[in-house]
Amino acid sequence: HGYELSTQRGSTYNAYLIVDREVVLVDTVWGPFKEQLIENIRQIIDPSKISIVVANHGETDHSGGLPAVMACAPNATVVVSTRGHESIPRHYYQNWKFKPVKTGERMNIGESDLIFVEAPMCHWPDTMFTYLTGRNILMPNDAFGQHYATAFRFNDQVDQCELYSEALKYYANILTPYSKQVAKKIDDVLALNLPVSIIAPSHGVIWRQDPLQIVKAYQKWASGASEPSAVIIYDTMWHATQRMAEASGAGLAASGVPYKLYRMAVSDRNDVLTEIFKAKAVIIGSPTLNNGLLPHLMPILEEIQGLRFQNKIGAAFGSYGWSGESVQILEEHLQKSKIRIVAPGVKAKWQPSADDLAACEQLGKQVAAAVKAS
């Protein structure tokens, strides 16, 4: 999705071919896979017979194969949302025939209709969902997807724990900033009273067994609900800050609040962000380096601010040798991220003393009390 997002289980780019009186292709793929897409279509039907291409979203991992498809079917109509009519032509600068559509518009393709639902900021402003009548298939592009590549196509064929984990990671790292829009769009789609037998996203497996389970999960995730737990993230030079992190964790554990501890120099940022999304509290620690923080912490702090997590609480700690700005800087990051600080920051000069570690343990207990009170 345009930046480094870890995909330990791989990913897929899904496009959907509908053969009716009209031959319709819903979405394409990332450009490097365009030949594979065309060959897959050719195994079913001559690509020149495609008369409609629905571009649900302009991002090039889904529209990148559009030039190759249109080269095969130059007379095809490209159906886009009203905002897609702004974005997609400015990606490719081609004289294609575009048809912008709005929510609720229908297009008859033979025995079935396509129904379109604009879904602005369910990732990008141009995002749109497409619904196929008859088969009752919702094709929502990025929504309800996962970065998850398997030998199978459907949700009931894969490990359910892996699937849930990847769907949650996808939401936490991509869609979280747009949770209000996601919740509203789910309400809009449900208000159409369309039966949904299959949800076919543009990444990962297709939801055919109890497809609305992922819709219910999105409703929960979009609400800002969290688990009564905490995440501690830190980095360290000579283990002083690490000892403080462990002491903070001991305070949480003594209060009965589960926590996870991550040193960012050796942790996957997207996995950690997923854990922060799930948890009520985040505690952050860093030594002071050059009047600032250790570099491995900066990317995740920027992402925490950008993802705009809801209803979080937090605290900060750190070690230093002479200037000691790290705790203040961390607290400023928490405030910018609208994370409510619930315990005074703890600073330790050089290696933490027994009193410093006791203060960190007390910090953990204060955060735990706030978790339980929320």
Q: Mind telling me the catalytic residues?
A: 1, 57, 59, 61, 123, 142, 170, 203
**Other Cβ atoms closer than 10 A to 278:** 16
260 vs 65: CA distance, rounded Å:
41
Among 208, 109, 146, 124, CA closest to 14: 146
Question: Can you tell me the distance from the alpha carbon of 53 to that of 73, in angstroms, rounded to the nearest whole number?
Answer: 9
Please state the separation of Cα 277 from the chain's center in Å: 10
Return the SS3 of 61: helix
What strands lie across the sheet with 137-139, from one edge to the other?
106-108, 113-118, 128-132, 137-139, 198-199
Phi, psi of 131 (to 5 degrees): -120, 135
Q: Which residues have a Cβ under 8 Å from the Cβ of 365 and sit 6 or more positions away? A: 251, 252, 254, 255
Q: Where does 197-342 show beta strands of DSSP type E?
A: 198-199, 227-234, 259-263, 279-285, 313-320, 340-341
Please give the structure tokens belonging to residue 174.
């991509």
SS3 assignment, position 167? helix
Length of the chain: 374
**Is the Cα dihedral 29, 31, 34, 35 positive or negative?**
negative
Q: Are 331 and 341 in contact (CB under 8 A)?
A: yes
Q: Residue 58 is encoded by which pair of tokens?
A: 């302009």
8 Å CB contact between 258 and 229: yes
